[in-house]
Structure 1
Amino acid sequence: MSTDFRSLLINSGCSDLDRLTQLKRKGQRTPAIQQYFRTQREVADNADMDLSERWLKKMKKIMGQIDDHVQWCVPFSGRPFRFLDLGCCPGGFSTYILKKNKQSTGVGISLDPADGGHPYLIEQSLRDRHTIIFADLTLFQLGPQMMSSPFFNFRTLPEDLTTRQFDLALLDAHHLRTQPGSSSDLLAISQIVVALSSIKFGATVVMKLAHPESWYTVRMLFFLDVLSSSLTVHKPYAMHRVQGTFYAIAKGVGGKSEKQRFLSHNFLPEFQKLWVELRSANGVGRSLVPKDLNFIISDEQVEGYALRLAELCGPVWKLQSAALEKLYTEQGI
């Protein structure tokens, strides 16, 4: 589907996607570019405290850009505001929110540093309004029924995360490259189940995604579009310019009665069942395939979303293309 859908988008006028596709192919054939990205991954996988502190500052800036872009997903002080930050550490997103809104309180969930997660670097003066939970998101009980396994020690989702008290949910966790590839899919679905269980109806959801033309991201954007009153995207220049990653910002998720029903009675139960399926296979798990998300939109229906996708994500392809061209020039290519 991915190649055919990409061709459909390009043939319908997505010139920036066409340009990006050509640039990626050029990069795949160029050893210097491949080495550049390998070095970037190695640095990220072995981050020291100094790099973690720089990430916090950059992520704080990115959250400010996201907030400005949608005017606003974080209100100024004046009323209580509750947020959930998945993949919280080192804490840049939470830091921005806590500093902007002095009445805000938040919960962050992040992998324990002892298990390979980032350090918790939110400054002491903000921590009385912020709770950090060190946990593997994929090991919460996220199915429709309690699950037992000889391979894993599952834990119950904290009560704070089951009472629909959050005005904003940030889905920004990423899996470790040292883990199996299938764990990336499991983490993505785990984040969605936690967020859909935790947010108020009408909340804002900020979700990190990658490659808008991919079968998974098309379905996630459609899912957010259906549930929200408005959907936009933002690709930060500072950390994501040459990567395929970007953020989708959905406001008013489950706000209207019919969207509330879709969230509670359709999407959440289906994602919970999918979490169980991905957790199966004798503890090994499996990767997502397109038909897993047919409850959102099927392959046959995706073509009808092409124009909307191009409208949403044209700027994402344009920025990445320009950044790759600049990188290639700097590398003498």
Structure 2
Amino acid sequence: MDLSAQFQSQDEALGNSVLTRAGLQPAGHVASCVADQEIQDNTSIIVTYLLEQVEEYRTLANLRRQGWENPAGDKFFRKQRRNADKADAHTSRHHFKLMQRIGNGVHKVTSGFAISRFAGTVLDMCAAPGGFLATALKLNPDATATGFSLPPSEGGYSILLNEDDRYCVKFLDVTMLAEDLGVTSIPSEHPDVRSFLPRQIEETRLFDLVLCDGQVLRTQNRAPYRETREPARLKNAQLALGLEHTRPGGTMIVLFHNVEAWDTVCFLHTFNKFSFIQLHKPCEGHTTRSSFYMVATKVQSQNHEAVLAIKKWKDLWKTATFGTDGEFAESLRKGEPTAKEILGEFGLELVRMGRGVWSTQADALARAPYIFSQPACTPES
């Protein structure tokens, strides 16, 4: 089918109605800033294409929408968020064991945790409580690891790995790694002027396996300017530094949300240019949620496209940290193809990679107690 025909009526479909129809947000949702609106508009184009082309996605969209419309869904996810926010010993231990099982599952399907080089190295950008790090070290007994994690005093988790001289974790906020991200001069009037950090990773240091699964924590105290941009600051900091320090031929494992979201599509499109990528949705902990893992192997981190990506992600972090909402929105679109151009170039590959993720989530939602009235499955933790 001609792409122009597919997009003929899309201008009328843009906006909340399309995203609500796909179950990505409730009716009446209002963008929090210019950049959020930019992402919504482009996501709407992607979603319209998928609703027209992909049966698995239409099924998922229908189930997601039922979840939004059922008050039981709100109650279920409020309980999940409340449990996740309690960083007590029991919660941390449960999360630690869950992440080990998820890591083993990711490896079983993708072989993503394997390091072929003797005495390989691992970089974990958001390590606590340490489940993925434990998986990596168990599967690669000669490897050593470096990790970063938000301090428990700032709302982060404790490290539950047994003490071992094979790994070292520094407790810090990776969104504040200013020098590593190319910023050495901080404006004196900036609200976080005293919080930015000097270099933490040697410029020439490279790692065989890089883990980027950090998520914004609601329990962290942050300056008000960070609230709407924190997901972008965290994701771009992790990916810029992770890719920059991946050994050519190495592997990156990255947590993303919503295959069809504009920012996720841009990341996948970019990684596809210099690595072999697989998408995997674990059988526990993620099935009803939008989350999934991208496993990028054979990463050519010194490829021209990779170098451009690192620069763009560092620039996005800088603008999200120091710029205005308008400047951040402009930086999101700068150098990126339009949504229609990406679909023309990458749409079929996106569908191929996303089918398994959408099918897994749809199967889980079809059994979820907050979709239909009868209880069917044990809620995920």
- The TM-score normalised by the length of structure 1 is 0.90
C-alpha distance in 1 between matches for 2:50 and 2:374: 31
1:199: how far off?
1.3
What SS class does the counterpart of residue 128 from structure 1 fall into? coil
Q: Say whether 1:11 aligns with 2:52.
A: yes
Q: Say whether 1:40 aligns with 2:80.
A: yes
Greater shift after overlay, 138-147 or 169-178?
A: 138-147
Counterpart of 2:321?
Answer: 279
What SS class does the counterpart of residue 311 from structure 1 fall into? helix
Answer yes or no: is the 8 Å Cα contact 1:182–1:286 preserved in 2: no
C-alpha distance in 2 between matches for 1:217 and 1:182: 15
Provide closer, same or farther for how the CA distance between residues 289 and 312 of structure 1 changes in structure 2, counting only shifts above 3 A: farther
Task: Give the count of matched residue pairs.
Answer: 321
Aligned-residue identity in percent:
25
Counterpart of 2:198?
Answer: 156
Answer yes or no: is the 8 Å Cα contact 2:149–2:169 preserved in 1: yes
Answer yes or no: is the 8 Å Cα contact 1:174–1:187 preserved in 2: yes
What SS class does the counterpart of residue 327 from structure 1 fall into? coil
Provide closer, same or farther for how the CA distance between residues 46 and 248 of structure 1 changes in structure 2, counting only shifts above 3 A: same
Answer yes or no: is the 8 Å Cα contact 1:291–1:298 preserved in 2: no
More helix by share: 1
RMSD: 2.2
Counterpart of 2:166?
Answer: 129
Counterpart of 2:349?
Answer: 308
Please list every run of 5 or more consecutive structure 1 residues that lacks an aligned counterpart in the other structure.
Answer: none
Counterpart of 1:238?
Answer: 284
C-alpha distance in 2 between matches for 1:58 and 1:274: 32
1:120: how far off?
0.8
C-alpha distance in 1 between matches for 2:246 and 2:135: 20
Greater shift after overlay, 138-147 or 209-218?
A: 138-147
Counterpart of 1:91?
Answer: 130
Q: Say whether 1:120 aligns with 2:159.
A: yes
Please list every run of 5 or more consecutive structure 2 residues that lacks an aligned counterpart in the other structure.
Answer: 1-41, 376-381
1:253: how far off?
1.2
Answer yes or no: is the 8 Å Cα contact 1:212–1:218 preserved in 2: yes
1:296: how far off?
4.6
C-alpha distance in 1 between matches for 2:250 and 2:115: 12
1:331: how far off?
4.9
Alignment of 1:52-201 (within 5 A): 52-75=92-115, 79-124=118-163, 127-141=164-178, 142-150=180-188, 151-152=191-192, 153-160=195-202, 162-178=203-219, 180-201=227-248
Answer yes or no: is the 8 Å Cα contact 2:112–2:295 preserved in 1: no
Provide closer, same or farther for how the CA distance between residues 288 and 35 of structure 1 changes in structure 2, counting only shifts above 3 A: farther
1:25: how far off?
1.1
What SS class does the counterpart of residue 185 from structure 2 fall into? coil
C-alpha distance in 1 between matches for 2:326 and 2:87: 29
1:286-330: CA deviations, max 9, x gaps? 896486154354323122221111100101010111111111367
- The TM-score normalised by the length of structure 2 is 0.79
Provide closer, same or farther for how the CA distance between residues 207 and 221 of structure 1 changes in structure 2, counting only shifts above 3 A: same
Alignment of 1:255-274 (within 5 A): 260-264=303-307, 266-274=308-316
1:242: how far off?
0.6
What SS class does the counterpart of residue 165 from structure 2 fall into? helix
